[in-house]
Amino acid sequence: MKNKKAFEFTFGWLFAMLVGAVILFLAIYATINLVETFRFRHETETAKQIGTLLYPVETNLESAKSAKILVPTETRLQNTCESVGDFGNQEISILESSGIGGKWRSPDSAQVASTFQNKYLFSSEDSDAKKEFYILSKPINFPFKITDIQILWADTEFYCFANAPQEIKKEFTELKLKNVYFNSSKANCPTDSTIVCFTESNCGINVDISRKLVTKNSQQLYFDFSFASDRNSLLYAAIFSPPEIYNCQIQRLMQRAAHLADIYIQKSEFYKTRGCGSEILPGILKDYKNTAIKEIAEETPDIRKLRSVSEDLEDKNEFLSQKCTLF
Amino acid sequence: MNSFRRNAHYSKKAQMKIQQMAFVLVAIVLFFAMAAIFYLTIYTADLREKAEYLQEKEAIELVRAIAGTPEFSFSSEPCSGCIDLDKALIIAGEDDYEDFWNLDALWIERIYPKPNDRECTQANYPDCGQITIIKNSGELSSDASAFVILARYTEENTGYVKYEIGRIHAKTKS
């Protein structure tokens, strides 16, 4: 008996299904790979663009500058610091969220970080922004200008400064910086924010202004007040970055300071030949350089150790006639 | 025997159908492969353009900002965007700064007054026209330049700070 309604499953059908499945598999595989390549390319471009965007944010004669970076999709900025070499490296890489594949590309997958020797970014290791990144650029003068640092946080990170000094509140308000709240006590801070206490204890971040100490994750970070009008640069850097990033960047700042001290030693010798030099300054600059080099080797570098030699340097430099000052 | 012939006849027809289908499938695969290659060619060309654009942009931004960096800034007197020519000459002799700005070439040209076209050295300074901080490796790359104020202390007339017009040039690494 032959069932006339039965479907005849011929070899042709079987063959078409097999080859169709292979083609479909290859098409899906190729699409996923292409999307991954697209993401990789776009992330590399964005990392480079963010690095380039940091140049116009740098200060000249100003004591601070602020900026905002808008991102089209949810973006993760990865901050990596290395203190090897003459100036160390600042690496910036970007991950963009996607509906295809995982939300973020796997950390093991190919990634090209934009590397800079002349930038100092203080932020979380991973900053996730839904739409915006906020940047505060501050110069570091110790006593001469060492560099500009950039402090970055995302729109998903909230900070609450409990009983902060008036000058800090004024600066943040004037620069219209977002996601940083000011309250008289930690009890009034939003629960989803990182609480930064200036007078109270047992907070996420504790600041001891008189001892120039910031304590976070049970680790102590040393900061010091910058010379000139931009006093709080390193205090902000310590608040907004984890200990690993902060200590590494301080080591890199010391590397830069040591190189600049070298330049001023040579400039001083230059001036001497034109009857405008100082006999004492090169010696103090050498002490400054040696102190900085010593701190580079420390796991937790202490910038406070540069204070006395910096003050001495500033005094002796100011003592020279204005046209002969080194910095 | 008759039945065997009939089966053989059906088999040939099926083989033809299979071959037809195989050709169609191969044609589809080839079509998609060619489309993908065509797309990737355009994509790669665009990638090169984009990379050059980003390099050029970095060079422009860097040249604008470089006068404000402590290695170049003239800080004895308040002067925004002034380059300390003495410091520039010192840095020109420092190998550590070779990779610092991620540049392929960096030089400062004295525009006015321009004593001559000679390269500045410790021996002929300030009677020279150009300070090369990073020597061009010869690779083709994006370049940018900006006019700057050059400042230096001179011992002439009991000593004063002399301001000149200059131009800073930068080429990014390709």
pLDDT digits (tens, 9 = 90+) for B121-136: 999 999 999 999 999 8
* Each residue's pLDDT tens digit, B25-41: 888 888 988 888 888 88
Residue A57 to residue A127: CA distance in whole angstroms:
19
Of A115, A271, A323, the CB nearest to B160: A323
Domain-located, residue A317: yes
Q: What is the pLDDT of residue A120?
A: 97
**CA-based nearest distance B174→chain A, Å:** 14
Domain-located, residue A301: yes
**CA-based nearest distance A133→chain B, Å:** 20
Of A55, A322, A324, the CB nearest to B65: A55
Domain-located, residue A194: no
Contact A289, A256 (CB under 8 A): no
Reported pTM:
0.86
Task: Report DSSP state, residue A226.
Answer: P
Q: What is the pLDDT of residue A245?
A: 97
CB contact under 8 A, A52 and B57: yes
A-chain residues near B163 (CB < 8 A): none
CB contact under 8 A, B32 and A145: no
Q: In this predicted complex, what is the ipTM?
A: 0.83
Of A52, A144, A276, the CB nearest to B159: A276
A-chain residues near B120 (CB < 8 A): none
Q: What is the pLDDT of residue A3?
A: 62
CB contact under 8 A, B101 and A117: yes
CB contact under 8 A, B81 and A41: no
Contact A195, A204 (CB under 8 A): yes
**CA-based nearest distance A86→chain B, Å:** 6
Domain-located, residue A91: no
A31 — pLDDT class (breaks 50, 70, 90): confident
Domain count, chain A: 1
Structure tokens belonging to residue A2 = 């032959």
Does residue A210 register a pLDDT over 90? Answer: yes
* DSSP element (H, E) containing A157: none
CB contact under 8 A, A87 and B80: no
B-chain residues near A45 (CB < 8 A): 50, 54
CB contact under 8 A, A145 and B86: no
Q: What is the pLDDT of residue B1?
A: 46
Query: A70 forms bridges with which residues in the sheet?
Result: A132
What is the share, in percent, of chain A residues with pLDDT greater than 90? 67
A-chain residues near B73 (CB < 8 A): 145
B-chain residues near A229 (CB < 8 A): none
H helices of chain A, in order, are 11-57, 166-174, 233-240, 243-272, 281-296, 307-319
Of B17, B61, B100, the CB nearest to A56: B61
Of B36, B70, B78, the CB nearest to A146: B70
User: Residue A229, exposed/middle/buried by CB under 10 A (0-12, 13-18, 19+)?
Assistant: exposed
Optimal mutation site among B63, B86, B160, interface A, most CBs of chain A within 10 A: B86
Phi-psi region of B125 (alpha: psi -120 to 50; beta: other; left: phi over 0): beta
Which residue does chain B place closest to A275, by CA atoms? B155
Residue B61 to residue A51: CA distance in whole angstroms:
10
Of B47, B69, B76, the CB nearest to A322: B76
CB contact under 8 A, A275 and B22: no
Residue A76 to residue A95: CA distance in whole angstroms:
5
Domain-located, residue A192: no
Domain-located, residue A295: yes
Which pairs count as long-range contacts for A157-160, CB under 8 Å and 24+ apart, including other chains? A157/A124, A157/A127, A157/A194, A158/A190, A158/A192, A158/A193, A158/A194, A159/A193, A159/A194, A159/A196, A159/A239, A159/A240, A160/A186, A160/A189, A160/A190, A160/A193, A160/A194, A160/A195, A160/A196
Domain-located, residue A61: no
**CA-based nearest distance B23→chain A, Å:** 11
A125 — pLDDT class (breaks 50, 70, 90): very high
CB contact under 8 A, A144 and B70: yes
Does residue A1 register a pLDDT over 70? Answer: no
If you average pLDDT over every residue of chain A, what do you get? 90
Of residues B26 and A2, more confidence is placed in B26
* Each residue's pLDDT tens digit, A221-263: 999 999 987 789 999 999 999 999 999 999 999 999 999 999 9
Domain-located, residue A5: no
For chain B, list residues with pLDDT below 50: 1, 4
Domain span holding position A306: 255-324
